[in-house]
Chain A
Amino acid sequence: MSPAVLAACLLAGVGTWALRVVPLLLARRRAEGAGERPGPLRPYVDGFLSAIAVASVAALLVSGLEPYLVRAAGEVGAGATGAALREVAALAAGLGATAGAYLWRRDVALGTVGGAAAYGLAAWLLGV
């Protein structure tokens, strides 16, 4: 890697830090002035920020599912319906096990590891 590209990565690291920390510091300053009269847009800004957590996790989940769905759709397009069904079955097993393991104990780690193990096993057994 050239020194210039290395410097670009270093600057991107500093930029990423600023992208995370500067808005956080501004939000803290705003929170400290909580007694001030809120502007008319404040409820909508609060609504946006309140929803961004669910929105980002939902978007990240879909982006994780997309390759599996695209692969299954490609197999259907190529006439390999059996392979697509096995792909979908393994995915359903993984998602079902993830949800089941999480809801059983309300434990994020258990849901993640249990779901991943179930998907790995199903994919191996089904030859995905």
Chain B
Amino acid sequence: MVFAGASQFVAVALVAGGAGPLVTFLSLLAMNVRHVFYGPSLTGRLGGRPVPGRPWLWGSFLTDEVFAASVAAVDRDPARVGDRWLLGLGLGAYLAWAGGTFVGVLGGSASARFPAVDAALGFMLTALFLTLLLALVDTARLGVAVVAGVVCLTGSLLSTTATGIPAGMVAGALYGASRARPGLAGAP
């Protein structure tokens, strides 16, 4: 229904805590507001190439992970990233997410009996984001990553990660915008 991992955790917590429908709706939406930047950012990196067809379809799968993987692929080889590629990536991620949820419901806490597997699964997303950052970052964008990371950590420690993540994203992007110079499209 809502293809967004963080929202899934929030929804479970809200429903288990007896939250009302309006609070649930607004909380889930607020969790995903950051996604408004993903489509324009992705199309901006195509370097004048036409936006792949059926954006209303593949765009619906633009989660954090799918967006980051798409941007890394566009930076490597923009010609390869068409609508079928984007749809395949998004659909694959959705099926893995839905399948993982289903297995989790059936298996419960089975992985807890294997501490090494449990720890590895818990670290998987962190490892994914590190590899995606290594794929995306270069010297010119290092400052953006540092500003985003510091603001995110500060926001998370002072409030929650739901505050820290968007605060870090916006702060890093604003730093990037502040480094832009008229005539230098796409800087930094």
A8 touches B120 (CB 8 A): no
Q: Does A45 contact B (CB under 8 A)?
A: yes
Could you count the A-B residue pairs with CB atoms below 8 Å apart for me: how many are there? 319
Identify 28 residue pairs between A and B in the complex whose beta-carbon atoms are under 8 Å apart, listed by A's number. A9-B25, A10-B1, A16-B28, A16-B29, A16-B35, A20-B62, A24-B42, A27-B39, A31-B50, A43-B183, A47-B187, A49-B37, A50-B188, A56-B38, A56-B64, A56-B68, A56-B169, A58-B146, A58-B168, A59-B164, A60-B64, A61-B133, A90-B119, A94-B127, A102-B131, A114-B127, A116-B120, A124-B116
Partner-A contacts on B (CB < 8 A): 1-4, 7, 11, 15, 19-22, 24-25, 28-29, 32-46, 48, 50-51, 55-56, 59-60, 62, 64, 67-69, 71-72, 115-121, 123-137, 141, 144-149, 151-153, 156-157, 161, 164-188
- Give the residues from 1 to 43 in chain A that come closer than 8 angstroms, CB to CB, to chain B: 1-2, 4-5, 7-13, 15-17, 19-28, 31, 34, 40, 43
Binding site secondary structure of chain B: helix
A48 to B186, CA, bound (A): 8
Q: Given the complex, which residues of B lie within 8 Å of A51, measured CB to CB?
A: 141, 144, 172-173, 175-177, 188
Task: Tell me, rounded to whole Å, the shortest Cβ–Cβ distance linking A32 to chain B.
Answer: 8
Excluding A13-B3, A124-B116, 7 further A-B contacts by CB distance (< 8 Å) are A50-B186, A53-B68, A58-B172, A66-B161, A90-B119, A94-B126, A115-B130
Q: Does A76 contact B (CB under 8 A)?
A: no
A111 touches B130 (CB 8 A): yes
- Given B120, B129, B167, B170, which contacts A57 in the complex, CB threshold below 8 Å? B129
Partner-B contacts on A (CB < 8 A): 1-2, 4-5, 7-13, 15-17, 19-28, 31, 34, 40, 43-66, 68, 70, 90, 94-95, 98-99, 102-103, 106, 108, 111-117, 119-121, 123-124, 128
